[in-house]
Amino acid sequence: MTNDGDEVSVQPARTMKPLTSKLGWSTPDRIEVYGHDLPRDIIGTIDLAGMAYLGIQGRMPTASEQRVFNAIMVTLVEHGQTPSTITARLTYAGAPEALQAAVAAGLLGLGTVFVGSMEGAARILQQKLADAPRPFDTDRMAEELVADLKAKRQIIPGLGHQKHKPVDPRAVRLLEVAEEEGLYGPHCQLMSAVAVVAQRESKKSLPLNATGAIGAIASDMGIRWEIVRGLGVIARSVGIVVHLLEDMETPLGIEIWNRVDDEVTNSQLQR
């Protein structure tokens, strides 16, 4: 100890803020979640995506909302080998006793580059429509949005795909399902109009991709853009768990590691 006789005293009292949450509570014989009795009203009644919808939106989905929300979620589950699934497999190889850590590792790369475009699309659409005069002139807004992003030298989130050209069949199907259920609203219209303008301006193949469609549909459902990335995180956690199950039989991690190690080592030895 190096206290040296300094006078030190108790911290000045701070006014405590109450800790509150409306999501759930329980007593010995009762469990309430999202405002509903869990055993009586939720278990056996609601599906998993409906539960997510209930939590995020604060109310049960209609049948249409439930179908569209599920469509969004299943689209995001599995994308083959991705940095995220490879990461999960490599982590599992080192810590098979901690499955949750392998899933978490896989989720950590879902940032601005890969899943961020969903959030980005939702953000620009919501911000543009929030202050727009009614009735919406989505074609004009699309021109403004594209010009604005071009001026800022920013890419347009939700457009373009490395592989799926000239059309991303997931985006087509998602918008179709939204339309079937009467949930194709102004955000979807604006996103589609943006794709048309961007394609014309850039002269490149810039299909509306799955993340653009999802950003638009989620916005028309009233989901705020700040949580849209969370939809991808939830869905990918499903996909990663399935990859880890496959990896128990067909491990990829060690082989990937060995190949990278061999190539890098040889490049060093041959300098």
Binders of its own copies: how many residues, by CB under 8 A? 141
CB of 249 to its own copies, least distance (A): 10
Identify which of 118, 124, 207 has the alpha carbon closest to the alpha carbon of residue 163: 207
CB of 53 to its own copies, least distance (A): 10
- The span of 125-133, 135-143, 168-176, 189-197 binding its own copies (CB under 8 A) equals 168-176
Residue 270 lies near its own copies (rule: CB under 8 A): yes
Residues in 34-63 that interact with its own copies by CB under 8 A: 34-44, 46-52, 55-56
Which lies closer to its own copies via its Cβ, residue 132 or residue 256?
256
Please count the residues of the chain: 271
Residue 37: enclosing H or E segment and its boundaries? strand 36-37
Which lies closer to its own copies via its Cβ, residue 40 or residue 140?
40
Identify which of 245, 251, 165 has the alpha carbon closest to the alpha carbon of residue 209: 165
Give whole-number Cα distances, 191 to 152, 169, 202, in Å: 19, 16, 16
Which lies closer to its own copies via its Cβ, residue 38 or residue 132?
38
The dihedral formed by the CA atoms of 175, 73, 146 and 164, expressed in degrees to the nearest 10:
-80
Residue 100 lies near its own copies (rule: CB under 8 A): yes
Which lies closer to its own copies via its Cβ, residue 148 or residue 246?
246
Residue 155 lies near its own copies (rule: CB under 8 A): no
**Which residues are bridge partners to 27 per DSSP?**
30
CB 108 within 8 A of CB 201: no
- The span of 17-25, 131-139, 142-150, 187-195 binding its own copies (CB under 8 A) equals 17-25
**Which residues are bridge partners to 26 per DSSP?**
31
- The span of 129-137, 151-159, 194-202, 230-238 binding its own copies (CB under 8 A) equals 230-238
Residues in 208-227 that interact with its own copies by CB under 8 A: 224, 226-227
Q: 24-27 and 36-37 as β-strands: parallel, antiparallel, unpaired?
A: unpaired
Residue 134 lies near its own copies (rule: CB under 8 A): no
CB of 159 to its own copies, least distance (A): 16
Among 60, 103, 124, 194, binds its own copies (CB under 8 A): 103
- Radius of gyration of the chain measured on its C-alpha atoms: 24
Tokens encoding 10: 């108790």
CB 80 within 8 A of CB 162: no
- The span of 96-104, 138-146, 182-190, 191-199 binding its own copies (CB under 8 A) equals 96-104
CB 221 within 8 A of CB 183: yes
Residue 150 lies near its own copies (rule: CB under 8 A): no
